[in-house]
Structure 1
Amino acid sequence: MSRYWSDIVDRLTPYVPGEQPAFAHPVKLNTNENPYAPSPRVCEAIAQELGSHGDSLRRYPDPTARKLRETVAAHHGIHADQVFVGNGSDEVLAHVFQALLKHDKPLLFPDITYSFYPTYARLYEVRVETLPLDDQFAIRIDDYLARANQNGGVLFPNPNAPTGRALPLAEIERMLDVNTESVVVVDEAYVDFGAQSAVALIDRYPNLLVVHTASKARSLAGMRVGFAFGHPALIEALNRVKDSFNSYPLDRLAQAAATAAYEDDAYFRATCAKVITSREQLTEGLEALGFDVIPSKANFVFARHPKHDAAALAAALREKEIIVRHFRQPRIEQHLRITVGTDDECRQLLDGLRAILE
């Protein structure tokens, strides 16, 4: 602590990102990165943007990311003025906290969820009320309905993280039909791996905002591109905050890469299908080893072994240079979150666990 710190900084507990291990060839299954490279069109687009001498880099990028927004809007069957872009979905969510939450009432989100939400709440001094998941780690919409219009906003991932469980669209509609006085934010970072997207509902519900990322299904975690979809008035609020903070959140290469990734729909669908197939095989393999695995619609699984401590398993795997995520958090301290890797990486994980368990 320094006497030059602000009061807010002194009270912060920063978000802890997943480890980027220094091993030469780790089996890295801890940060939910896509196991496959992005579309070949992405590298072609970056090379084209750079040109022979990289001359374009001396000029600022398009602050509105117009071409990217139009491409993504066309993909989802919406209009460009219903699309906001940011430097990863984390930045998009940060702007949501400033632009759309009513700070005189508590924000509602699950007790087990993406750990950046409470971090942002502390940073922006937003009151929070967490609602517990049920015994099967599912979100109970009825708990949110009981607090409808008595909150400063509702926020949850679908599928949820780190559990991987997804809500059907009908449940989200039930909330939107009742909670009309505050924004409902659905964070769909993992939706393309088998869940139902709420983007189709934004024309019917002016308080619905849906957040996406190019990091997961489109393999662009290294480029930092995120989106929000909603009524133009919500998008305008986000742009007002963005342009009061950083008018150029996406550089030229990120815009070119993300546009190319969305244009190659066939590649996107093929890689998602491969991840889904591998997820089901990984689930079967873990269950065969005695693990309890929560049904997942994400590119990861959440599992526990009833006879073995999760922290000890994670440490033993690390000795084999296999990295998974363990959360020291009430209710889930005996679970491991395991990213779906390539089939070979999943095989190495299962072989490693089998050796440890035996």
Structure 2
Amino acid sequence: MSRYFTKTLAALEPYTPGEQLKLPDLVKLNANENPYPPAPGVAAAVAGAVPGLRLYSDLTEAALCAAIARHCGVQPENILCGNGSDENLLLALRAFCDETHPLAFADITYSFYPVLCDLLHIPQHVILVEEDFSLDLSKYHGLNETIVIANPNAPTTLLQLVAAIEEVVRTNPDSIVIVDEAYIDFAGPNASCVPLTKKYDNVIVVQTFSKSHNLAGARVGFCVANPELIADMNRIKFSYSPYNVNSLSQAAAVAAMEDENYFRDTVGKICATRADTMTKLRERGFTGPDSATNFLFVTTSRMPCKQIFERLRQKGVLIRYFSAPRLSDYLRITIGTPEQMQRFFEELDLILG
């Protein structure tokens, strides 16, 4: 780093995303991206927005908020859009945490939470997950701190029931509870905590277009909450990045959100491939929880997981390996198309012999 970098952030450890290699015949199963193209109407919607690029994007994101509201069964005033769900998380933490209001989260979860805390000078209350990686949500009852719960959790794939999260919300009436639902559409019906936003004024549900709506490159996320919380986060947004979602991404997201049939079809295909992949992995001696996401979290005693990761990488198949304690014996494998998973198993079988 340069000698000009602020000393208060000199120790900041940035978030580490999955590798973004550009290689021929690459099978990319390391970033939890959707393996299918965007909905058919997205390209036309983006092309239609091109003439308007001479103007700033819609500050209110009105059309997009309306489309999301219809999909989620809420009102547009309950929606705030962001440059990916990561920005919605940043807006929420900036609005509802500070040096005297810590953020509570699990030790094994989305690794962006501690990065945001370090960046924003927010104290961290890290709560250990259980030996089987499950969350004992009773540990979150009555904390009187801002709380974030990834549901389903990453990288463990585990899902908490809405009733269990509601108890966390109920027992922390004077604190914000953020439910990060990046993968919720792969968890089955009635898994989302969006209905809790109608019942409680202290819950924020964060979702994204990157996974189930096939738009990771468009960088669009949103959160659902009562209008007063949305207004608080909008004050933060308008203080640093009022035009946070560009016109092309807004148009793409509206088209993707409105094509419910394509959404259900691609989610269904991913869930079917997920089940098939887990069956085949178990046949090969891998173990791991049943996943509620578009990826698997598995381990094996046949070969060190780091070695499997490295040898697959040499063959042009990318999966994710974490060297952190408690995770170093596990692999995270994104669900691709059936053809991609076939290539994955071909290379895996050669490695395992």
TM-score bracket relative to the smaller structure: over 0.9
Tell me by how many angstroms 1:351 deviates: 1.8
**Cross-structure match for 1:107:** 103
Question: 1:3 deviation in Å?
Answer: 2.5
Distance 2:70 2:286 in 1: 42
After superposition, residues 60-71 of structure 1 pair within 5 angstroms as: 60-71=56-67
Q: Report the equivalent of 2:150.
A: 157
Q: Distance in 2 between matches of 1:349 and 1:43?
A: 30
Structure 1 residue 22 and structure 2 residue 4: aligned? no
Deviations 1:286-341 (A, max 9, x none): 11110012221000000111231111000010111000000111101110100000
Match of 2:231 in 1: 236
1:194 aligns with 2:190: no
Match of 1:182 in 2: 175
Identity %: 39
1:209 equivalent to 2:187? Answer no
Match of 1:278 in 2: 273
For residues 103 and 183 of structure 1, what CA distance do their matches in structure 2 show?
Answer: 16
The separation in 1 between residues aligned to 2:298 and 2:285, in whole angstroms, is 10
- Native 8 Å contact 1:108 1:130 kept in 2: yes
Matches within 5 A, 1:335-346: 335-346=330-341
Say what the alpha-carbon RMSD is for the aligned residues: 1.0
**SS of the counterpart of 1:75?**
helix
Gaps of 5+ in 2: none
Matched, 1:44 2:44: yes
Q: Which residue is equivalent to 2:138? A: 142
For residues 187 and 91 of structure 2, the distance between their equivalents in structure 1, rounded to whole angstroms, comes to: 27
Aligned positions of 1:88-127 closer than 5 A: 88-127=84-123
Q: Would you say how many aligned residue pairs link Structure 1 and Structure 2?
A: 351
Unaligned runs of 5+ in 1: none
Residue 35 of structure 2 is aligned to residue 35 of structure 1: yes
Amino acid at match of 1:193: F
1:72 positional shift:
0.6
Does the 8 Å CA contact 1:101/1:182 hold for their aligned counterparts? no
1:20 Cα offset (Å): 0.6
- What's 1:3 paired with? 3
- Cα offset, 1:194, TM superposition: 1.5
Corresponding letter in the other structure for 1:129: H
Q: Secondary structure of the residue that 2:168 maps to in structure 1?
A: helix
TM-score scaled by structure 2? 0.97
3-state SS of 2:195 partner: helix
